[in-house]
Amino acid sequence: MLKKILISLAVICGACFTFIIWIKGLIPPQEQDFSNTTASELRYLQQGTDVKRGKVLAVVTSTEVMGNSTKSTGYELTELARPYYVFTANGFVVDIASPKGGKPPALIDKGDMGPFDYAFLNDREAQQKVDNSIPIDQVSAGDYQAIFFVGGKGTMFDFPDNTDIQTLVRDFHKNGKVIGAVCHGPAALANVTLDNGEPLIAGRQISAFTNEEELFLIPDAAQRFPFLLEDRLREQGAIFQSGPAYLEQVSVDGQLITGQNPWSTWLAAERMVEAMGYTPRPRQITPAEQTVELLLAYEQQGYEKAREKLQKLRDRKDLDRRLLAMHGMVSAMRWEPGKTLDIIRLLSKSQE
């Protein structure tokens, strides 16, 4: 009996592995090389030069290694580059700070990189600010209209207990200024208390990287990190709002704007512009955002609505088929056969 069970398990595992490999084969190669893109080539970035609306502070982690491990970490480049350009295009000067100052460690995933991200890497002024980030203890809150905490797993180690960050957050809160964060960036809010001793985020709507997302990528995350971010935010009394895994979800609670994951970054930054009292400059959404919208339609309304949305696309190049295939692979790994097949159907139709 045991032998039969082991053989059956081996067959099932082999079939699952073959299926995942097959889905990987559906992921098309990067069709365009954006590595030499410059800011001057992107029309959206030519906006914002006609007005001066003040300054926004972006804060990144200084942590290079995850805890006691040898695994490197840092801030997510896409979660800095995209808000940097949203704020710039909307008339704000962006300064960059970090707990230690100087050049912070960056995480660059080429599979997630688009033209704006490469433009940021090729932007001399932006890179000068990154390489010489302001030590957080030298920042004056009065100089800024908003503060934005960039994500990256390193934030879990040097944001929550940093007293200078806590002081800044309290100052922005007291003066009704905008506070934003995305993905692991809300770790900066996790331990902030007000003058009355209450947690800043108690009773506030918050989104951040969820336990579901964290544990899928790092099964032993509870041992690697000081805490799981969703758990800590809930413990502090936050009204935690989560959307579907790895899709866009942004919470707006007055002047507090938080995004769940990297795919929430564009919207979080634009909601911050709105919270500062301005209408965001028009921007053509990216193929990745278009794909996220398609997947959200599927999650919220089902396959037929997603198929209808796909059919309305004028140009299939407006869709990131690699991201769509990756979601199919994630569904397969999580043993969601119905969802996996639906995404494969959408992927197949996207190639028609």
**Predicted pLDDT of residue 3:** 39
With a CB cutoff of 8 Å and minimum separation 6, the contacts of 304 are none
| Domain co-membership, 122 together with 200 | yes
Alpha-carbon distance values, 113 to 94, 102, 130, 224 (Å): 21, 24, 18, 27
Average pLDDT value over all residues in the chain: 91
More confident residue, 71 or 151: 151
**What tens digit of pLDDT does each residue of 15-73 get?**
455 555 555 555 655 567 899 999 999 999 988 777 889 999 999 999 999 988 888 99
Mean pLDDT for the stretch of residues 313-342: 89
Question: Residue type for 293, please?
Answer: E
Which segment of 20-24, 181-185, 285-289 scores lowest on mean pLDDT?
A: 20-24
256-259 β-sheet, strand order: 134-135, 93-98, 55-59, 146-149, 178-182, 256-259, 250-253
* pLDDT for 314: 64
**What is residue 193's three-state secondary structure?**
strand
- Pairing label, strands 250-253, 256-259: antiparallel
Q: How far apart are CA 75 and CA 115, in angstroms?
A: 19
CA distance 296 to 285: 15
Clarify whether residues 188 and 290 are in a common domain: no
pLDDT at 269 over 70: yes
**Residue 64 belongs to a domain with what CATH number?**
3.40.50.880
On whether both 264 and 298 belong to a single domain, the answer is no
Number of compact structural domains in the chain: 2
Task: Give the residue-averaged pLDDT of 320-347.
Answer: 93
Instruction: Determine, yes or no, domain membership for 335.
Output: yes
Structural domain harbouring 349:
285-352
DSSP 8-state class, residue 282:
P
Dihedrals phi, psi of 315, to nearest 5 degrees? -135, 125
Compute the distance between CA of residue 119 and CA of residue 116 in angstroms, rounded to an integer: 5
Boundary residue ending a domain (275, 302, 334): 275
- Give the end of a domain, one of 218, 244, 275: 275
**CA atoms of 104 and 77, how far apart (whole Å):** 11
Q: Please report the sign of the dihedral spanned by the C-alpha atoms of residue 21, residue 23, residue 26, residue 32.
A: negative
Does residue 212 sit in the same domain as residue 347? Answer: no
> Residue 73 and residue 273: Cα distance in Å, rounded?
29
Q: What is the DSSP string of 235-273?
A: HTT-EE---STTS--EEEETTEEEESSGGGHHHHHHHHH
Instruction: Please give the pLDDT value at position 29.
Output: 59
Task: Flag whether 27 is in a domain.
Answer: no
- Please indicate, yes or no, whether residues 255 and 317 belong to a single structural domain of this protein: no
In a shared domain, residues 154 and 267? yes
CA distance 237 to 42: 42
One-letter amino acid at 340 equals T
**Which residues sit opposite 54 in a β-bridge?**
none
Q: Are residues 96 and 241 in the same domain?
A: yes
State mean pLDDT over 165-191.
98
For 139, phi then psi, to 5°, come to: -85, 135
Give the integer Cα–Cα distance in Å for 306 and 244. 15
Q: What percent of the chain has pLDDT over 90?
A: 81
Q: Which of 275, 301, 323 is the last residue of a domain?
A: 275
Q: Three-state DSSP class for 58?
A: strand
Residue 246: count other Cβ atoms within 10 Å of its Cβ.
Answer: 23
Is residue 106 included in any domain, yes or no? yes
Query: Do 244 and 326 fall within a single domain?
Result: no
DSSP summary character for residue 72: B
In a domain, 11, yes or no: no
Sequence-ordered strand ranges (E) for the chain: 55-59, 75-76, 93-98, 106-107, 134-135, 146-149, 178-182, 205-206, 239-240, 250-253, 256-259
- Residue 223 confidence (pLDDT): 93
The CA distance from 141 to 145, in Å, is: 8
Over range 246-274, report the average pLDDT.
98
Q: Quickly count: other Cβ atoms within 10 Å of residue 140's Cβ.
A: 10
Q: E strand or H helix at 343, and its extent?
A: helix 337-350
Tell me whether residue 75 is in a domain: yes
Q: How far is CA 313 from CA 166, 264, 298, 308, 316, in A?
A: 45, 22, 15, 9, 7
Indicate the pLDDT class of residue 1, thresholds 50, 70 and 90.
Answer: very low
Residue 68 lies in a domain: yes
Q: Are residues 271 and 296 in the same domain?
A: no
Contact indicator for 132, 97 with CB cutoff of 8 Å: no
pTM of the model: 0.92
DSSP-assigned beta bridge partners for residue 179: 147, 256
pLDDT reported for residue 191: 96
Are both 45 and 128 inside the same structural domain? yes
